[in-house]
């Protein structure tokens, strides 16, 4: 079960339909939007004062989730962070935010997390689905498809795609009812843009994140909710290998990116200033995916 910041347990069963978006007036979801008045443009501000934001996968002090939580907090959001271990409470203390423990591949734990965040902070209006990026604790599976086991395949899909699906589903109903929301999913260049041998599971999951992002963006567009993806390239985190760091030196910028540079892109898409952007994937890779070939 998900643990709140005080160690208490929250009770919610995601098998109940209460967290799923409810059509209005008997209208099916996706019904003709032309009958609804177009919302007025929002002020082009980056501020998120008073908004409740949830950032998943923020257990590492050197990771993208942690950097994102820091930026959102600086923009005035009331931030909750979650990871699979109790080290999240250390990160929460450092940032002055609220930490939760949950396995986001488990439907019931996601439901319990949603209840716990609502009880302590209020309704989530900004969701950053960062959980799933490879880490030392849960490294990426590197194996050719011919040698990839079914459990390894399912593990990559669940960790990188199912988490985004379950968390998004848990909060979109409330966002739609309030008429405002931001969801930013963490994709990657691997999958949507390119791929390498031995990473089929990860690449397939991250390509799936982009598909989920675009479909959900169209489902939520009439409700004032935007859904976008950020696709980092080679980013220097605590989980980076020496080989990855060397690859970063070969990018057009000449270095790997930093978690804060990715967090800056995420924070923009979470802000009111990004109100006319939805269903998009923003690549943050130092121009690496643009270059056709490397010349010396």
pLDDT digits (tens, 9 = 90+) for 267-294: 999 999 999 999 999 999 999 999 876 6
Q: Which of 278, 265, 159, 273 is nearest to 223 (CA)?
A: 278
pLDDT over threshold 70, residue 17: no
How high is the pLDDT of residue 35? Answer: 63
Residues in the chain: 296
Between CA 231 and CA 266 the distance in angstroms is: 10
Residue 62, token pair as written in the block: 């050197």
pLDDT over threshold 70, residue 5: no
Between CA 45 and CA 217 the distance in angstroms is: 21
Choose between 18 and 129: higher pLDDT.
129
How high is the pLDDT of residue 196? Answer: 85
- Catalytic residue, chosen from 66, 150, 202, 276, is 202
Instruction: State the pLDDT confidence band at 239, using cuts at 50, 70 and 90.
Output: confident
What DSSP string describes 17-82? GGGSPPPGGGPPTT--GGGSPPPPPPP-----TT-EEEEES---TTSHHHHHHHHHHHTT-EEEEE
Instruction: State the pLDDT confidence band at 3, using cuts at 50, 70 and 90.
Output: low
Between CA 94 and CA 215 the distance in angstroms is: 36
Between CA 181 and CA 287 the distance in angstroms is: 30
Between CA 260 and CA 272 the distance in angstroms is: 20
Number of H helices, E strands in the chain: 8, 7
Indicate if the alpha-carbon torsion angle 137, 143, 212, 248 is positive or negative: positive
Between CA 26 and CA 135 the distance in angstroms is: 44
Q: Three-state DSSP class for 139?
A: coil
Between CA 137 and CA 134 the distance in angstroms is: 8
- Reported as a single tens digit per residue, the pLDDT across 60-74 is 999 999 999 999 999
The percentage of the chain sitting over the pLDDT mark of 90, rounded to a whole number, equals: 75
Between CA 290 and CA 278 the distance in angstroms is: 22
What DSSP string describes 231-272? EE-SB--TT--HHHHHHHHTSTTSS-B-HHHHHHHHHHHHSG
pTM for this prediction? 0.86
- 8-state DSSP, 274: G
Between CA 71 and CA 69 the distance in angstroms is: 5
How high is the pLDDT of residue 9? Answer: 42
Q: Examine the residue annotation and report whether 202 is marked as an active-site residue of this protein.
A: yes
Choose between 295 and 285: higher pLDDT.
285
């Amino acid at each position: 079960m998900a643990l709140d910041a005080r160690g208490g347990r929250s009770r919610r069963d995601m098998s109940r339909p209460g967290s799923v978006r409810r059509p209005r007036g008997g209208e099916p979801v996706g019904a003709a939007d032309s009958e609804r008045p177009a919302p007025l443009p929002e002020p082009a501000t980056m501020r998120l004062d008073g908004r409740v934001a949830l950032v998943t996968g923020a257990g590492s002090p050197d990771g993208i989730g942690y950097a994102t939580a820091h930026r959102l907090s600086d923009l005035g959001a009331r931030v909750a962070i979650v990871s699979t271990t109790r080290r999240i409470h250390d990160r929460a203390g450092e940032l002055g935010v609220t930490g939760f423990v949950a396995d986001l591949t488990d439907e019931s734990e996601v439901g319990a997390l949603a209840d716990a965040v609502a009880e302590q902070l209020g309704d989530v209006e900004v969701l950053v689905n960062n959980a799933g990026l490879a880490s030392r604790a849960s490294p990426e599976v590197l194996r050719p498809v011919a040698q990839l086991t079914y459990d390894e395949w399912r593990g990559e899909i669940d960790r990188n795609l199912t988490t985004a699906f379950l968390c998004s589903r848990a909060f979109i109903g409330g966002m739609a009812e309030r008429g405002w929301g931001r969801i930013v999913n963490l994709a990657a260049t691997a999958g949507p843009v390119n791929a390498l041998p031995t990473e089929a599971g990860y690449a397939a999951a991250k390509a799936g994140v982009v598909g989920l992002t675009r479909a959900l963006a169209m489902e939520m567009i009439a409700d004032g909710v935007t859904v976008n993806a950020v696709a980092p390239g080679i980013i220097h985190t605590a989980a980076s290998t020496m080989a990855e760091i060397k690859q970063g030196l070969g990018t057009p910028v000449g270095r790997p990116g930093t978690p804060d540079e990715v967090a800056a892109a995420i924070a923009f898409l979470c802000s009111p200033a990004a109100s006319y952007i939805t269903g998009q994937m923003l690549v943050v890779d130092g121009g690496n995916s643009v270059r056709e070939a490397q010349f010396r």
